[in-house]
Structure 1
Amino acid sequence: MDFILELPADARGHTGILVFVCRLSKMVRLAAVRKSMTAPQSAQLFVDNVFRHHGLPEAFVSDRDPRFVSHFWQHIFCLLGTRLDMSTADHPQTGGQAERVNRVLEDILRSVCAAEPTKWSTLLPQVEFALNNAVHSSTGFTPFYVNRLRHPRTPLTLPPASSLGGGVANAEDPRGLKGLRTSVKRNLLSFIETGEVVRQRVRDAMAAAQDIHKEQSGRQGRKNTQAVSAVGSTNLRPRFVGPFTVIGVHDHAYTLDLPSSMATHPTFYVGLLKPYRPAGAVEPEEPTASQNIAERHSPSSGRALPTEAGQEREQESEQEHEG
């Protein structure tokens, strides 16, 4: 569980989103909330959006938001027989899942609500469907398929003559009923077997992804993304501004030639920048590993776009060479 707050207020006064993410299937549930939402209200949203569809989870993982550590929630957990696990900051094995969903969710809303930022709450159902119908990198399946072993129908997948009716058995023919029972039993056993196979594959894939994450986190560290400048708030504003000329390279940070009107420090962490490409330029080919290494160690002057602090990006910054 986690919150996305400080969004533009919609017609009903909602300024945030309560995000629920299933640890196994990666299924996402979204609920628009007000900034003044209380612990009882968040508990009611959990019942309305999660409990009635999926039942009670064994445990919750969340940050130390006052709404989640209140006596009300603790009492709910005791009555329902579950537990609340608080995440530890910067720990690779606690939390992080909801934060990753939050970043993707903000990117989607920023794209679809650019013209009308206050309409974001009306698009939450479509955004939730899109997230749950996308293949997750750590499981190899869509959340819909992991939960139900089937993909939902969409307008593009409906056949020309779609029917929800099943076969009709003749009540006066016992052989037909026997054959129908045999077919149903066979399909049920196949469904159960497929479910076990899918769940085991998901667990194996998640374990492998966690091992890789832990190894990379221990080897590279998270680096300091807060000791650099921020440009405005995150919310649904455009992510990048610029372009600006790179005038200095300092290990994992670049210094940009910013106008004095911006009134911000000109040094930014490299993960918060991206190369500038003029509109209408031809998309570059995918660089090879050797090209990435060469470009990463090239201190040539170029242009880059700073993005807002706090938005961690794993891609390395590239620079445009002037010829």
Structure 2
Amino acid sequence: MYIYFITGLPSTNSGNDTILVKVDRHTKRAQFIPIVSKNTAQQLAAFFVKQSAKEHGLLLVCATIFGTKLKMASAHVQRTEGQVERINKILASYLRHYVSRFRNDWDNQIALAEFAYSRQYQSTIQMSPFRVDLGFEPRFPIDSHLTDVSDLSNRFSSRSKTKFARAASKGAFGC
């Protein structure tokens, strides 16, 4: 699991100014958690254990058994972990498009950014992080209101053929 912080963000109405990013190396699933940068190391450790224990309890045991490596990453340098940089770019792009012009509501948009990222196809695992982690693709609420265009085309085509066949059998075309 990779853990890193995106700092130096504008403070939101809730007081958040940092994003704690957790990325599962195997599923590629990321979590974007808005936090306050003034938290102490003890507060952050308690927060992380609380968040991870409910979702990845076994990983904490594995990290204790096999040891961990601390690698410091610099912005825009892919020597440490290219995946981290790619996720940063995706998250920055998403927030740039959906955050208000006052830039004080990014923490309200972060859950949707995480959801959108986890639904994206990842070439390294040949599916989305959601599919690997959950076994299915969660849907946006709007997905239930949208219909596949090919499905509409097939329905229209079959209705047209049926109407045409009825009209032909009644001699509507003068045949």
The reply on whether 1:103 has 2:89 as its aligned counterpart is yes
Structure showing the higher helix proportion among its residues: 2
The reply on whether 1:141 has 2:127 as its aligned counterpart is yes
Distance 1:121 1:159, change over 3 A: closer
- Correspondent of 2:136 among 131, 141, 150: 150
Q: TM-score, normalized by length of structure 2?
A: 0.69
The 3-state SS of whatever aligns with 1:118 is coil
- Correspondent of 1:10 among 12, 20, 28: 12
Q: Which runs of 5+ in 2 are unaligned?
A: 147-175
Q: Is the 8 A contact 2:53 2:60 kept in 1?
A: no
Q: Which amino acid aligns with 1:100?
A: R
Distance 1:49 1:96 in 2: 25
- Correspondent of 1:116 among 102, 107, 117: 102
Shift of 1:140: 2.1
Q: TM-score, normalized by length of structure 1?
A: 0.39
Q: Which amino acid aligns with 1:87?
A: K
Distance 1:147 1:122, change over 3 A: same
Runs of 4 or more, structure 1, over 3 Å off, are 88-92, 156-160
Q: Which residue does the alignment assign to 2:68?
A: 84
Shift of 1:33: 1.4
Q: Is the 8 A contact 1:7 1:16 kept in 2?
A: yes
Distance 1:95 1:83, change over 3 A: farther
Query: RMSD in angstroms over aligned alpha carbons?
Result: 2.7
Q: Which has the higher contact order (CA 8 A, sep 6+)?
A: 2
The 3-state SS of whatever aligns with 2:37 is coil
The reply on whether 1:131 has 2:117 as its aligned counterpart is yes
Distance 2:61 2:93 in 1: 28
Indicate the percent of aligned positions where both proteins have the same amino acid. 29
Distance 1:95 1:102 in 2: 11
Shift of 1:14: 1.1
Shift of 1:118: 0.6
Q: Which residue does the alignment assign to 1:51?
A: 53
Q: Which runs of 5+ in 1 are unaligned?
A: 61-76, 161-323
The reply on whether 1:36 has 2:20 as its aligned counterpart is no
